[in-house]
Each structure stands twice: as structure tokens, then as C-alpha cells.
Amino acid sequence: MLIVVLLIAISLFIALIFLGVFYWNIRSGQYDDTYTPSVRMLFDEGKPAESPQAGEEKKS
């Protein structure tokens, strides 16, 4: 029966790790906004064409 107690201890420990991870997720704000990142990854950056030009305009 000792093995059951040991297994329970291990399973509880692992579950606690997941609880801790979830706690950290919440605290670090990963669930604050679930919409914007899904849109953001679809934006075309198109950097090579634009950024030099935009930079020039700033200087002028």
C-alpha cells in the first residue's frame, strides 16, 4: 500500500506544478488579450519597401 501513497504524492506534486504554471500564466498577463495576437501574426511586415522611405521623410 505504500506504493499507492507514493504515487499519490507524485501525482499531487505534478498537478501542483501545473497549477503553479497556470498561476504564472495569469499573473504574467498571457490571458489579458486573447484576440490581438491572433490578428497580429497575420500582418505583412513589408519592411524592405517602407522603412527606408519612412526614415527619409522623417529627416527631410
Partner 1 sequence: MVQTELKCYHCGQLCEDRQFAVDEKSFCCYGCKVVFEIINDNNLCAYYQYDAHPGATARVVDEEAFLFLDEPAVQKKLLEFQSASFARVRFNVPAVHCVSCIWLLENLRKLDAGILRSEVNFARKSVLIDFNPERVSLKRIASLMASVGYVPQIQLDSEKASAPVSNKSLVTRLAVAGFCFGNVMLFSFPEYLGLDHSDAALKMVFSFLNLVLSVPVLVYSARDYFYSARKSFAQRQINIDVPIAAGLLALFFRSAWDILTGFGPGYLDSFTGLVFFLLIGRWFQSKTYESLAFDRDFRAYFPLAIRKLFRDEWKPVVIYELEPGDVIQVRNLEIIPADSKLLKGEVFIDYSFVTGESRPARAVEGDLVYAGGRLIGQPATFVVEKGTSQSHLTSLWNHESFRKREESKYQRTIDRAARAFTWVVMVIALGTAVFWYYFRPEEMWLVVTAVLMVACPCALALAAPFTYGSMLRAFGRNQLYLKNADVIERLAAVNAIVFDKTGTVTHGTHPEITFEGQLTEEDRRAVKTLTSFSTHPLSKMITASLSSPGVADIQEFRELPGKGIEGRSAGKTYAIGSAEFVCARPQDLHGQTRVWISVNGTVRGYFAIRTTLRDGIYAMIFRLGDACKGVLSGDNESERTLMARLFGPKATLRFNQDPHDKRAYVEELQQQGKKVLMIGDGLNDAGALKQADVGLAVTDDSGVFTPGSDGILFGQRMEDLDKFIRLARRSHRILRMGFGISFLYNAVALTFAVSGNLTPLVAAVLMPISSISVVSFASVAVRWAARREELN
List residues near partner 1 by CB under 8 A. 1, 4-5, 8, 12, 15, 19, 22-23, 26-27, 31-36, 39-40, 43-44, 46, 49-51, 53-55, 57-58
Please identify, using beta-carbon distances, which residue of 10 and 23 lies nearer to partner 1. Answer: 23
Burial of 10 per CB tally in 10 Å (0-12, 13-18, 19+): exposed
Tell me how far CA of residue 2 lies from CA of 21, 28, 42, in angstroms.
29, 39, 54
Cβ of residue 10: shortest distance to partner 1, in angstroms?
Answer: 13
CB of 52 to partner 1, least distance (A): 10
In the chain, the amino acid numbered 29 is G
